[in-house]
């Protein structure tokens, strides 16, 4: 740090700031495995510090990292003020030929708007798939990508096709959810400074798959319940029918005395309940017929009873037996 201070005319306070910032970034980069590299620009000394070496701005641009937009753009980026946001352009590496995302943050200490140092944290785009795949929700995600508000693709899932029409609809829509062909697309805006859109698209078939699975499970459960209900009803019917069956076996000899069905009536006897119904109707009909016959024969019976009494053919053991016989046949005598 003293060597850096002597070369770039830093006072002890600034050297202390560099030391503290270096320790913080080293600790942060160790704790966050997604960080590829970082560098710090000090506008007061016009130099760049990195974990590997200390560079002048020109030397750093020519041998370490660069922007395709040129040195002037690179110099403007170094001297801009950042509240904490990703840059809108990729950083390129001379050694690996990779493209990197850069997060910039300004350290202003006690003077808002002033720049003591700008820290630039570098993220490797090739690590994004592993970051996305670390979340279990990714299993149902069809595609994911990051684009700017002007439609420039920052990152896209490998082996995915993004057409201009889809990206145009995503940018123009004010809704967080968009339907495009067979996909449901969700977007989230990162912030005013970055102006990035985080896009996740899922096929409607995959999205509705849990509902289809629930419907299929419900249908299977419904079939199982129907089968179980039929079996339960059958078992209960057997248990409920057993007393009736026992009763029928007991009264069958009696039923046979009353029921002599014809061929037509046999076809109407479908079960034992029908047989009982027919038998009871037949018994009621026979009882009514017998009652009517007895009623029609009562005058003849009374005449025969009186003739037997007058001829002295009626013998009784008790005196009141004769009165009971007459009363039971509806014969009354008026006497004092």
Three-state SS annotation for 265-329: HHHHCCCHHHHHHHHHHHHHHHHHHHHHHHHHHHHHHHHHHHHHHHCCCCCCCCCCHHHHHHHHC
Res 221: pLDDT: 92
∠ at Cα 89 (88, 95), nearest 5°? 150
Nearest to 108 by CA among 191, 17, 26: 17
Percent of the chain scoring above 70 in pLDDT: 68
Q: Which two tokens stand for residue 336?
A: 């004092």
The residues near 336 (Cβ < 8 Å, ≥ 6 apart) are: none
| pLDDT of the residue at 136 | 57
Q: 146: closest CA among 65, 201, 79?
A: 201
Q: For the chain, what is the HEC assignment?
A: CHHHHHHHCCCHHHHHHHHHHHHHHHHHHHHCCCEEEEEEEECCCCEEECCCCEEEHHHHHHHCEECCCCHHHHHHHHHCCCCCEECCCCEEECCCCCEEEEEEEEECCCCCCCCCEEEEEEEEHHHHHHHHHCCHHHHHCCEEEEEECCCCEEEECCCCCCCHHHHHHHHHCCCCEEEECCEEEEEEECCCCCCEEEEEEEEHHHHCHHHHHHHHHHHHHHHHHHHHHHHHHHHHHHHHHHHHHHHHHHHHHHHHHHCCCCHHHHHHCCCHHHHHHHHHHHHHHHHHHHHHHHHHHHHHHHHHHHHHHHCCCCCCCCCCHHHHHHHHCCCCCCCC
Q: According to the model, what pLDDT value does residue 230 have?
A: 92
- pLDDT the model gives residue 8: 42
Q: Where are the domains of the chain?
A: 2-125, 135-205, 259-336
**The two domains 2-125 and 135-205 share their CATH topology (first three levels equal):** yes
For residue range 134-171, what is the model confidence (pLDDT) as tens digits? 665 555 566 777 877 777 777 776 556 567 777 788 78
CA atoms within 13 A on the CB side of 14: 19
- Average pLDDT across the chain, whole number: 74
Residues 6+ apart with CB under 8 A from 150: 171
CATH architecture of residue range(s) 2-125: 2-Layer Sandwich (3.30)
Query: Tell me, what's the pLDDT at 133?
Result: 65
User: What is the pLDDT, as a whole number, of residue 224?
Assistant: 93
Which pair of structure tokens corresponds to residue 79? 């001297």
Residue 118: both structure tokens together: 């700008």
Intervals of the chain under pLDDT 50: 1-9, 30-31, 262-269, 336
CATH (residue range 135-205): 3.30.450.70
Q: Regarding beta strands 177-180 and 153-156, do their DSSP bridges make them parallel or antiparallel, or are they unpaired?
A: unpaired
């Amino acid at each position: 740090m003293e060597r850096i201070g002597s070369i770039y005319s830093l006072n002890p306070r600034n050297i202390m700031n560099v030391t503290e910032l270096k320790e913080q970034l080293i600790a942060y980069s160790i704790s966050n495995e997604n960080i590829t590299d970082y560098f710090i620009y000090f506008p007061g000394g016009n130099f760049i510090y990195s974990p590997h070496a200390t560079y002048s701005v020109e030397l750093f641009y020519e041998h370490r990292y660069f922007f395709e937009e040129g040195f002037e753009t690179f110099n403007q980026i170094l001297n801009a003020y950042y509240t904490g946001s990703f840059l809108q352009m990729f950083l390129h590496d001379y050694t690996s030929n990779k493209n990197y995302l850069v997060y910039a943050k300004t350290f202003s200490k006690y003077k808002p708007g002033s720049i003591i140092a700008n820290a630039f944290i570098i993220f490797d785009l090739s690590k994004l798939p592993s970051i996305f795949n670390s979340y279990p929700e990714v299993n149902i995600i069809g595609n994911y990508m990051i684009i700017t508000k002007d439609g420039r693709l920052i990152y896209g899932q490998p082996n995915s096709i993004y057409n201009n029409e889809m990206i145009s609809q995503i940018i123009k829509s004010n809704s967080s959810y968009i339907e495009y062909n067979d996909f449901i697309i969700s977007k989230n805006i990162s912030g005013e400074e970055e102006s990035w859109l985080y896009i996740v698209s899922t096929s409607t078939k995959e999205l509705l798959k849990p509902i289809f699975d629930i419907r299929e499970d419900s249908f299977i459960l419904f079939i199982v319940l129907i089968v179980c209900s039929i079996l339960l009803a059958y078992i209960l019917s057997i248990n409920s029918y057993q007393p009736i069956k026992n009763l029928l076996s007991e009264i069958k000899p009696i039923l046979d005395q009353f029921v002599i069905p014809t061929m037509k009536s046999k076809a109407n006897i479908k079960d034992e309940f029908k047989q009982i119904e027919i038998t009871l109707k037949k018994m009621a009909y026979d009882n009514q017929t017998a009652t009517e016959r007895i009623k029609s024969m009562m005058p003849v019976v009374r005449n025969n009873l009186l003739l037997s009494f007058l001829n002295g053919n009626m013998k009784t053991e008790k005196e009141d037996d004769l009165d009971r016989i007459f009363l039971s046949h509806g014969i009354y005598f008026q006497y004092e």
